[in-house]
Amino acid sequence: MDLGTTSGTRASPPLRKADPRPSKRQLEIQLGRLKILEKPDLRLEQYPVSAETASELLYMAGFEHNDLGGRVIDLGTGTGRLAIGAALMGAQDVLGVDLDEHALALAKENAETAGVRVEWIQSETEKVNGRFDAVIMNPPYGTRALHSDARFLQKALQLAPVVYSIHKSSTRDFLVQFVKDSGAEVRQVRSMKMMIPHIFDFHEKKRATIEVDLYEINRRSS
C-alpha cells in the first residue's frame, strides 16, 4: 500500500505562551530590593517578612493554586512586600492596608521602585470592609498583643474565601483550632525558617531566624 512520501521534517509543536509572571527566584530577588522600616514600632510587631518567605507564600497562592488573579488584599501590609509581590504576580487589583502612615509612605516608594500599581489605605484592620478573591498577610504574631494574629485571621475570613497567611510555628495548635472554630479549613501548612534582621534594640545578633508556618485557609461554603 502506497502511503505516499513525506518531506522528512516533523511538524513543529504549537508554541506555548510564555508565563509573564516571575519565577519564585526572580520574585525573591525583586522583593529583596525593597526597603523596610529602619525604626519599626514594636507595639505593632512590625517584623518584616523576608523576601524568601514572601516569595514562597506568593508562589503557593499564585502558581500552585492560581488564587492571585483577581482582587487581592494585604492586611497589615507594612512596607508592602506581599502586596507588591501580588501585583508582580499579575493580580488584577491589589489593596494594601496598614495603620502606620510611615510604613505606607515607604510602601508607596517601594511600589514605584517595582513598577507596579497598588492602592494603599491607612486603616485599622477591623474597620476594613469589602469583597476580595484572596487575602495575603504577615500579621502580628500575637507576642505583644495577645491573639492579635487571630483577630487578623477573623477579619481575613470575612473578606475573602481563601487566605494565605504567615504565623509563628509555635502557635500552630491554637491557630488550627481557631480556624476550625471559625467555620473555615486549613488546607495546607508549610513550615520554613524566616530570617529577621537586627531592627530592635533588644536584638543581640545581626540577624536571627524564627520558625514560621505558611497557611492556606479556605472559608467553607455555607
Per residue of the chain (222 residues), give pLDDT as tens: 333 333 344 444 555 555 778 899 999 999 999 998 877 666 666 678 899 999 999 999 999 999 999 999 999 999 999 999 999 999 999 999 999 999 999 999 999 999 999 999 999 999 999 999 999 999 987 665 556 889 999 999 999 999 999 999 999 999 999 999 999 999 999 999 998 876 655 545 566 788 999 999 999 765
Do residues 133 and 160 touch, judged by C-beta distance below 8 A? yes
Do residues 86 and 57 touch, judged by C-beta distance below 8 A? no
**SS3 at position 167:** strand
CB atoms within 10 A of CB 13: 6
Residue with cell 520558625: 211
- Alpha carbon dihedral 60, 193, 214, 180, in 10-degree steps, equals 150
Handedness of CA 73, 127, 113, 39 (dihedral sign): negative
The whole-model pTM stands at 0.85
Length of the chain: 222
Distance CA 60, CA 74 (A): 15
Q: Alpha carbon 173 to chain centroid distance? A: 21
Residue with cell 488573579: 69
Nearest to 60 by CA among 116, 132, 136, 8: 136
In 6-143, at which residue ranges do the beta strands (DSSP E only) sit? 71-75, 93-98, 119-122, 134-137
Distance CA 55, CA 27 (A): 6
For 44, 74, 79, 121, the CA distances from 100, given in Å and listed in that order, are: 9, 14, 10, 10
